Structure 1
């Protein structure tokens, strides 16, 4: 039975590394195939669409993210293997640490033993071994939480085409930092009687550090333990005069430009765009509809429509957007048509209670904005007959 359990633990330890390697290989192949398929689709579009700047930008976007083999690429090979070595080392300690501590001779360590290691020979070796084992336990639990967090981050970044070589270094350093902070927190808890008692659970007369497992999980998920946010709250509470930049007043903060401001944005579509790191109207307004179309199930017309609505939402708050909607003005193109004449400017100025100078400035901005020019070029290429002769932004 012991041999079976030992083999099972060994499989777990090695499995963590193999899972990471397999995950990186599978996602890289998936990303390569997806990028090539998108490039094939873009290459089969009509010539009038392929001649637009947004189409060319979309091709460059997917070509730039079509990375070769991660394990042979000059830019990726070192950070990838560094991450694998870090995960392998931490996993070995995590799965075999208890056996190593129990089987080995007690060697005092400032890192593991803390205050009990400051006076060698004082006290029992069993107490020192017990303390150092708990330190390894906290670091191991923190690593497991950080490992799950890392896989979650890898999925998000690969989904968003945001994996750079430096990212693997950041993930590696974060794993090491988590283990270090977990070990240090063990010593802090021991130094504070209230925390020490709170973290201990007594079962059949034996004290077990169950509370340290919760602390380790929080550290693994967020090594800073939200200390920055806590210090801000404490400073605001005691009104200290520590020199720092003051936070803007709440009433002066800009509006939360939620994607729900746009027509057709039901929660499912908002969640899908959030997966692509598009979490507000301003971000959507600057997106390439060709890329958005290639990476979602939306039609190209719908992607262009969403971006056109987002461009209009940048100009007004939600109440004025609602007023514009009552006149059938729902995107940047219909707004451009309505302000193309002096009479239209006057009408909208009265409707929205906005000075005519502001609406005139919108007209000048739209005429000079390269983003809107490229967006209008794509729109006209998609529907050359319908928009021919229409005034675009």
Structure 2
């Protein structure tokens, strides 16, 4: 299907370069009213070029994606169906947005061509752009006035190590956003995908911290060298660490006891506990395999700090 679709796409691209568009076409003209034949022909030419640019961008990205799958020895028949669907969706979105914007794109045809090409080059960009153009009443899931405040959508590429190719790959396993990644099973992902277990565990740990703190505090945590849920919970084990992360939990001062309760609430979540137990088990296996090469000075420092706190109490 991908080969046939590519052949048809390149044939249409070559035809669009020399086709005169003397006759009106509903797909190319849309619902735009034209006064003269020249205006109608120009509008249809711009529409054809925008759709062709979307196809070329989608084809370039699809080729790169398939090459990466071959390089990882992970190419499956479903990959060809996915990239074919991506090409078709990009063409449809480019055409819809062309008619949606109307004659406004006549004054920025080069920018529209570049935008259509980017729609194909970055999966999800066209859908997000089209979604932003919809009226607010069409986006709500129900008659809830607080919908915009409650609804959150964190794309996967907010996490370190996830690019457009990995994002597209993970979406085939129904991991479409950060919230789903935060609750994913790392062992299942390790078995199903070509990515190593340490990378998957890091993605999930980052996702959990982003979901808990939100995007603004998440960026502040990165500036404080706290990039995942493990760093956050490890810092909360000492009095100094809890004082250090307090700005991430609240804008107003909090007592140490309140911070402890907040940390207990966060660490007791089932997905956080599950992830921590897996990482702890892997750490124990590594210590037994390399008893002389590995030393955890950080844990020793924490134990001494906890002892000092107990003695002071």
Please state which band the TM-score falls in when normalised by the shorter chain: 0.3 to 0.5
- TM-score using structure 1 length: 0.35
- TM-score using structure 2 length: 0.43
RCO comparison, higher one (Cα < 8 Å, 6+): 1
